[in-house]
Structure 1
């Protein structure tokens, strides 16, 4: 998960010759004026240093597979201009960078990870701080948009979806990965058990018990598969399909402008 008024990011691409135009990608950390946004921003700032390690342990490394799937379903290609919204520690932005190529950026945490990476294409990433509910980009600007564990935490989901729609080019996709609010009693029970007996105890070892207790309520107040599809269509997307991942514990919404 990530804060409510959010980071965004993604790589830049380039087109050939006279048809070539330099493209820029973006990433960022959230900033917000509302008290709810400020509280969530503070929460995620506290967990940022251990965020990736905790996810590795809790998912047995599977979160990396889910993120690759999310990026793949965005249909980002070489030379595209792409946006990773709510970029967190930068995992999706780095994967997008590999998709769009050399010419195709959570700020302090993600930027420091960028310096540690060896792939030349990672240098094409630019990190920008801003508001996911009021994106600083013109209409029809991006070829693809990804969101990883961010939509669940924005303070105004319909507005966030309308902003994603606005900055996407016609026919382009948004791929949104997050915890799944399942209709299956078994899945929801397993999810709840894991949070209480695995997630929170592990987080307590880092002194982050209260920070991770929010997870259960955030999933409880999130949207179901059908509600997410309806949210996208009401925002103006021409098509939307939600796919379950990780045995139903996770889900990815693919929406086409």
Structure 2
């Protein structure tokens, strides 16, 4: 099968994912808060810390959703820095553009596909991605694009779900997805939209596999840090 055939096969899935995140945009922040018991903010801050972002940098947040991580980056880089948030769901970007008006001058919101970022090589000093890599139709291509747009020596910090190695924690994660995530989604009348999470976690590469994928994509170093008992993880890859 040629590359064009593979691209065509992946397109319907990509379109479904885009439609999904456009549909859930109005309740997205409330859902994240409820599903994680507020801890998603702590995990996102950890990703920003691991990205190495600091004052005056040009930073990129891929699959930015409603802008949580991009806003954290904007505070980190200060008035002399600039943050670009990309997402292929226009409704998510529309919400992001309305948040924290005092920070918007240092933020750019760009509708873009993570597999084909509209930026020149070596454009950014740091990058983040929160809960986006798992949803890409081509994870290696997404990592290659991150590598391409980062400057030499820059880091990407990628936060996402992870399958715990300990069987008891793995059982707890399964319970959490079924007993917390599903009822929360039902409360917001989004049970069908959030049904994808559990199977997507099952399919997602383990931390060691993510490290290998990052290295194969050209990153000089890669480390995966399990957090939340291994139910989440942050892949830190250095160009």
Q: Which TM-score applies when normalising by structure 1? A: 0.83
CA distance 1:133–1:116, change in 2 (3 Å):
closer
1:181 matched residue in structure 2: 163
Question: 2:164–2:229: 8 Å Cα contact kept in structure 1?
Answer: no
Of structures 1 and 2, the one with the larger relative CO (CA 8 A, separation 6+) is 1
Distance change in 2, residues 1:220/1:252 (3 Å): same
Give yes or no for the alignment of 1:233 onto 2:210. no
Deviation at 1:116, TM superposition (A): 4.2
5+ residue gaps in structure 2?
A: 1-9
SS in structure 2 at match of 1:209:
coil
Give the secondary-structure state (helix, strand or coil) at the position aligned to 1:251: strand
Alignment of structure 1 residues 19-168 onto 2, 5 Å? 34-104=11-81, 105=85, 107-118=90-101, 120-168=102-150
Runs of 4+ in 1 over 4 A off after TM superposition: none
Cα gap change, 1:190 to 1:74, in 2 (>3 Å): same
Change (3 A) 1:127 1:151: same
Paired residues of 2:127 and 2:155 also in contact (CA < 8 A): yes
2:192 is paired with a residue of what secondary structure? helix
What's the secondary structure of 1:175's corresponding residue? strand
Judge conservation of contact 2:182–2:194 (CA < 8 Å) in 1. Answer: yes
Aligned residue pairs total 225
1:214-253 matches, within 5 Å, as 214-253=196-235
Matched, 1:201 2:178: no
RMSD: 1.7
TM-score normalized by structure 2?
Answer: 0.89
Provide the C-alpha distance between the structure 2 equivalents of 1:234 and 1:57, rounded to a whole number of angstroms: 36
